[in-house]
Structure 1
Amino acid sequence: MMRDLRVLLVEDDDFTRRLVLRLLHDLDVHLVTEARDGMNALEVLRDKGDGIDLIICDLEMPRMSGLDLLHALRTATGNPLSDIPVIVLTAHREADMVKRAIAYGISGYLVKPVSKADLVKRLSFAMQKGRGSSS
């Protein structure tokens, strides 16, 4: 299941991005595209969005936050990626942001620092839920 998963990892912090990338590789997820912020993620999605199955996205980023990225994904008319599963990365202090993200139909959230067990649980749930199902 995980081997063929194509993930877009959106995280501005190098340490956190490398940690999540290593955890994904440990889970046999090797098709990972990285983006440093929401603007970069939108460029990636514009270029190869049909090659992405799931987005793991930080909420707090410069230039374009995870919430702004979610808003752009979920509200763009005719966007074929509007229902792509999104797991958000968050720090404990961002509870209000998580509530706002949930309103955009996220597939789950991971609290930093991310653990392998939590990542497995969230990926499994997001992939079972899949595209096109309601939140």
Structure 2
Amino acid sequence: MQDSTLAILVVEDHPFQLIAMQMHLNRMGFFYLTPALDAEEAREACQRREKPFDLLLCDINLPDTNGIELLTELASSGGIQQAILFSYREEDELQRLEKQLKSSGLPVLACLSKPLGQRTLLQALGEKAG
């Protein structure tokens, strides 16, 4: 069962997709969302918060950095607790990347294909609750 009180930092560089993702998360029962269009906005959001975001939900392909670099930075600075990365990359490539990131000690729950399906996202979030 998902925890609807999760504070989620959503980083997506396409404004329409960012809005659509927020609406999708709202329909799933997640309302504590902080949107960011790029890494700089994400960094600023983390600096404004007194405690870390429960979850970083981040596109891997960002214009000013990539999601992996942002994840590494925010995790090491204590800005986030865990992360789910997403991309239009092939599923097998994302699975390899997920294993690599987890083995390097990064707090990654999953690397998922876009568009994010509700069931897939809830399964990944279930790992956080579990």
* In structure 1, distance between residues paired with 2:58 and 2:50: 15
Contact 2:10/2:34 (8 A) holds in 1: yes
- The superposition leaves residues 50-100 of structure 1 with CA deviations (integer Å, 9 ceiling, x where unpaired) of 16211101110011221111221244xxx3346x11000111248278355
5+ long unaligned stretches in structure 1? 129-135
Q: SS of the counterpart of 1:17?
A: helix
Normalising to structure 2: TM-score of the pair? Answer: 0.80
Q: TM-score, normalised by structure 1?
A: 0.78
The 5 Å alignment of 1:87-126 reads 87-93=84-90, 95=93, 98-99=97-98, 101-102=101-102, 103=104, 104-126=106-128
Tell me, yes or no, if the aligned pair for 2:8 and 2:57 is still in contact at 8 Å: yes
8 Å contact kept, 1:5–1:53? yes
Q: Secondary structure at the match of 1:15?
A: helix
* Contact 1:38 1:68 survives alignment (8 Å): no
Kept in 2, the 8 Å contact 1:55–1:86? The answer is yes
Following the alignment from structure 2 to structure 1, what is the Cα–Cα distance between the partners of residues 101 and 44?
21
CA contact (8 A) 1:70 1:101 kept: no
More displaced stretch, 16-25 vs 27-36: 16-25
Alignment match, 1:44: 45
8 Å Cα contact 2:47-2:79 kept in structure 1: no
Structure 2 runs not aligned, ≥5 long: none
Q: Which letter maps to 1:109?
A: C
Q: Is residue 11 of structure 1 aligned with residue 12 of structure 2? A: yes
Q: CA RMSD in A?
A: 2.3
Corresponding pairs, count: 124
Displacement of 1:19 after TM fit? 2.6
Q: Identity across aligned pairs (percent)? A: 23
Amino acid at match of 1:67: I
Contact 1:86/1:106 (8 A) holds in 2? yes
